[in-house]
Amino acid sequence: MSAPSMMLYYNAASPFARKVLILLHETGQAGRVGLKPVAVTPVNPDAEVCHDNPCGKIPALCLADDNVIHDSRVILDYLDHQHAGHPLIPRDGPARWRRLTLASLADALLDAAVLIRYETFLRPEEKHWSDWLDNQAEKISRSLAYFETEAVTELSAHFDIASITLASALGYLDFRQPNLGWRSSYPRLASWYYEVSQRPSMLETQPPA
Ligand code: BEZ
């Protein structure tokens, strides 16, 4: 196999980086991208990442021509144009807007979960803002309720941008909020997640134990 032509700044705990890794596996491109682990938080930027992505966030994908693509959504879109198989982001029609909207809701759920992590892990306990934490938690439950009642059948039809993003979000909830117990409130989603968790792309990209 030839050497990877691209390099991804990532962290094994990042659900946004996991989305990229899942898509790489699903589209047979994992060997094309070298992985560069970095530890970054909003209060601990990495100089090399900042050089390549001014806002210092991961994932960021460095291309062979030295261009850098960042934000997981843009990276997924780019990589989905680099393989010959069935697109994981529908190219046009109502399916495109529906699947991107579901992915966007799953991204918003992820944002809320990561913000809770930052607030509780990085911020001193005496400064924790409970109203703000409660509202992030409510965003998560409203989003999960929507997926449970309105979208689980659609999700089952394809493992694509919407499914990848939601699977990454649910994996992150299990990783950082293991006591949340979301499965009892959202049994259809739990069953969908159990099924997709068996995919090699999910097994190969699990967050650290
Ligand atoms: C985490 O450790 O929870 C985390 C790491 C990178 C990005 C987002 C979250």
> How far is it, in rounded angstroms, from Cα 170 to Cα 86?
25
What CATH class has 6-80?
A: alpha beta
Pocket test of ligand 1: the residue of 41, 72, 111, 174 to mutate, having most ligand atoms within 8 Å of its CB, is: 41
Residue 1 reports pLDDT greater than 70: no
Q: Are 164 and 23 in contact (CB under 8 A)?
A: yes
Q: Which atom of ligand 1 is nearest to the CA of 172?
A: 3
Strands (E), the chain: 6-10, 33-37, 60-62, 68-70
Residue 176 reports pLDDT greater than 70: yes
Q: Which residue ranges make up each domain of the chain? A: 6-80, 93-199
Determine the 3-state secondary structure of 7 from DSSP.
strand
What is the mean pLDDT of the segment spanning 25-37? 98
Percent of the chain with pLDDT over 70: 100
The per-residue pLDDT for range 57-84, each reduced to its tens digit, is: 999 999 999 999 999 999 999 999 999 9
Q: Which atom of ligand 1 is nearest to the CA of 58?
A: 7
Mean confidence (pLDDT) of the chain? 97
Determine the 3-state secondary structure of 61 from DSSP.
strand
Confidence of residue 2 (pLDDT cuts 50, 70, 90): confident
- Ligand 1 near 73 CB (within 6 A): no
Q: Which of 126, 132, 160, 122 is nearest to 40 (CA)?
A: 122
Residue 173: per-residue pLDDT: 98
Q: Are 83 and 28 in contact (CB under 8 A)?
A: yes
pTM: 0.97
Determine the 3-state secondary structure of 98 from DSSP.
helix
Residue 114 reports pLDDT greater than 80: yes
CATH of span 93-199: 1.20.1050.10
